[in-house]
Structures are given as structure tokens and as C-alpha cells.
Amino acid sequence: MFYIKKGLPGESELVLCTIKKVLPHSVFVSIDEYKDLEGMIHISEVSPGRIRNIRDFVKEGKTIVCKVLRVNTEKKHIDLSLRRVSSSMKQRKSNEYKQEQRAEKILGITAKKLKTDLESMYKNVGNLLIEEFGSLYESFMVILKDKDSVKKLKIDDKYLKPLIKVINETIKPPEVNKSATLLLRTLSPEGIDIIKSGIKEALDFAKQKKYKVKLTYISSPKYKIDVKAEDYKTAENVLKEVSDVTIKYLEKNKGQGQLAE
């Protein structure tokens, strides 16, 4: 990647490293995301249990994910651990790095459209976004939700507007799916029509709110309600809001409803 972090990593931070030298009781690595930084992994932090030959676990040139144990800010000595990185932590860090690589490509595409280079894009827009949101990818996710959220950064529209256009053309906003069962009952002779009207009220409400909702008949009194949203918390709130519309309608018309997970 073109972008390199300045300063030192924090304790407990996960960092991407490349193994440079393997000694009998320690491993020296370059910390790839930071400028001119190296770290050391003691043999006790390579793998749990007794290690007969350290080279059975590490070799020069391999890329690994490490956890920062200690940072000596004066000497810039950084102690790392390999054994304290679980599979899920390694996967998370790898995904974050891939996301940031993808975001940098988007910055590069914008640079070409503006007939400039990547360094200029970082200088005029990328670094400001990273400073505010922590990473390029996170800033792009914020822009997808609300492009006006970056106005406070006072980035030149010459760079920002083309970047926003490329982001919208390239990245599909993440979505989660959540489903539940809606139980709808009524003893009224016009029960079917009341239930249909209650469902229509809910779907009209969802359309007005621009929610992604689908209601499907299963078997009396069950109806499946499916929601797509940007995260699980939002999906749960949408489920409740939409189902409440139908339930309240039925209660006003001698019926009842219940949302069941």
C-alpha cells in the first residue's frame, strides 16, 4: 500500500508484519503499516507450548499478524506476540487490510480521472479522511450513508466530488437480513380484509420511510416479515416499527397481533 502510518502503534493493536530475521530465541519483523518500524517476537510469544525448533513456526519473508505487547517510545522498541492472535483476530485484521487496499484503489481511480497522482490525492483528501475517521474505508462507509458528513473537513470540491462519485459507483453499501414471524388474528367476519389492510398499512409505512421490507403469507395466522438494513440494530428497529403498524391497526379493528422471533 502507498499509505504508511506515522508514529508508533498502540499496545494491544493488531499489526501486519513481514518476518526479516529468525534467530534461535527470537524473531525480528518489519511492521508493514508503519514507516521504518521493526518489532521483536520472543520465542515464548511465537506459539503456545514448548518449541524445539523456532523455524517450524516461522520463516523469513512470511507475512503474519501480530499483537503489540509493549512499546518503548524512547527507544522505539516494540515487543510483539504471534501466539496471542486468534484465528478470528487474524481474519479480522486481514479483512481490514484488504478493505483499505480496496479503498486506496478507489482513491487511485479518482486520481486518474483528475489526471493527478495518488500522492496528491492523499495530500488533498485521503489524509484528512483518515485523520477524521481512522481509515479510508471507514470514511467511505460514512460517505455512502451521508455525503454531507464530510463537509466539516472543508475538502476542496475539486477532489471530493469526483471521489464521492467513484465511491457510489464502486462500493455497494453493506446490508444485513433479519426475519421474524408476525402472528395476525381476528374474529371479525371481515377478518381477511382487515388483515390485508393492516399489512398494506405496514408496507405503505415502510415505503414512506424507505425501508426494505417484505411481508409473505406462511399459513394462518403466520406471516413472515423480512428486513434488509445496514446493520442488525437498525434491522431490529425496522422490524418492530413496521410490525407495530399492523398490530395497532388490527387492535383498532377487533383483532390482535404479535411479533415472534
* List of residues 6+ apart from 179 with CB closer than 8 A: 224, 225, 226, 227
- Give the CATH number for residue 243: 3.30.70.1130
Domain span holding position 96: 88-170
Q: What is residue 175's predicted lDDT score, i.e. its pLDDT?
A: 80
Residue where a domain stops, chosen among 25, 56, 85: 85
Report which of 242, 246, 245, 241 is spatially closest to residue 195, judged by C-alpha positions. Answer: 246
Q: What is residue 261's predicted lDDT score, i.e. its pLDDT?
A: 67
Cα–Cα distance between 9 and 73 in angstroms, integer? 10
Strands (E), 24-100: 26-31, 38-42, 63-72, 77-81
The domain total for the chain is 3
Residue where a domain stops, chosen among 85, 116, 134: 85
- Torsion (CA) 199, 202, 204, 205 in degrees, nearest 10: 170
pLDDT digits 0-9 by tens, 17-41: 999 999 999 999 999 999 999 999 9
The reply to whether 193 and 246 lie within a common domain is: yes
Residue 201 lies in a domain: yes
Residue 159 lies in a domain: yes
**What is the average pLDDT score of the chain?**
93
Residue 6 lies in a domain: no
Percent of the chain with pLDDT over 70: 100
Residue 47 has pLDDT above 90, yes or no: yes
The three-point CA angle 213-255-234 to 5° equals: 25
Q: How far is CA 224 from CA 109, 177, 219, 249, in A?
A: 43, 13, 10, 18
pLDDT digits 0-9 by tens, 72-82: 999 999 999 99
- Give the CATH number for residue 144: 1.10.150.190
Cα–Cα distance between 178 and 168 in angstroms, integer? 25
pTM reported for the whole predicted model = 0.67
